[in-house]
Amino acid sequence: MTGEIERVLFPAEEIERTVVNMGRAITADYAGQDLVLVSVLRGSLFFLADLARAIDLPVTIGVMAITSYGSRDQSGGVVRIIKDLDEDVGGRHVLVVEDIVNSGLTLAYLLKTLRARNPASLAVCTLLDRPEQHLVELPIRYKGFTVKDEYVVGYGLDYKQKLRNLPFIGVLKSI
Ligand code: PRP
């Protein structure tokens, strides 16, 4: 599996340290509040699972599935919810957990949808951020790492639906 990797960007230990620190910050910031972690399938599942265990609060976990119209580049952020949250987030503190923010269009759509449900607060936690590609301004409250314009895989991130289960994040060999 590692034959497809050009180089390791973030080893498993570094990811673990970062996620633990993010969990600590979230624990301090949301102490005593009703927190719902909201994630979108599938890339963020690995991060969500580790982050949730690094948060020392009784959190609720909600999962959504969405699909974009056409290819991501052409979708213009128009996405459709194919599995909605089972939880009512009205009056609760919502933290959206993402694996990566590229253009930010998926997140912008998601935030708009969630805001309409009147949460007590709405914030974003992403493991990876690619600020050079942002097309919209986003309220990212917690960020793990910044990445450049390279194809990254592992720890949830895929290439053609494979390599998500690499324990580290690496750069894909050019194809
Ligand atoms: C990835 C990632 C974000 C989105 C970010 O999902 O999980 O949801 O792309 O891109 P954007 O900022 O340009 O909108 P992807 O569609 O690759 O699906 P996956 O989570 O199943 O890998």
Mutate to test the pocket of ligand 1, among 38, 39, 40 (most ligand atoms within 8 A of CB): 40
For residue 60, give the 3-state DSSP assignment.
strand
User: Measured from the CB, is residue 128 less than 6 Å from ligand 1?
Assistant: no
Residue 40 beta carbon below 6 angstroms from any ligand 1 atom: yes
Number of domains in the chain: 1
> Against a cut of 0.85, is the pTM above it?
yes
The domain spanning residue 71 has which CATH number? Answer: 3.40.50.2020
What is the span of the domain harbouring residue 166? 2-172
Angle formed by the axes of helices 12-29 and 45-54, to 10°?
A: 60
Distance from C-alpha of 118 to C-alpha of 106, rounded to nearest angstrom: 19
Helices and strands of the chain, counted as H and E runs: 4, 9
Output the CA 106–ligand 1 centroid distance in Å: 7
Q: Sign of the C-alpha dihedral, residues 156, 122, 19, 63?
A: negative
Give pLDDT tens digits along the chain (175 positions): 788 999 999 999 999 999 999 999 999 999 999 999 999 999 999 999 999 999 999 999 999 999 876 555 555 667 889 999 999 999 999 999 999 999 999 999 999 999 999 999 999 999 999 999 999 999 999 999 999 999 999 999 999 999 999 999 999 998 6
Tell whether ligand 1 has an atom less than 6 A from the beta carbon of residue 105.
Answer: yes
Beta-carbon neighbour count of residue 46 at 10 Å? 21
Task: Say yes or no: CB of residue 156 within 6 Å of ligand 1.
Answer: no
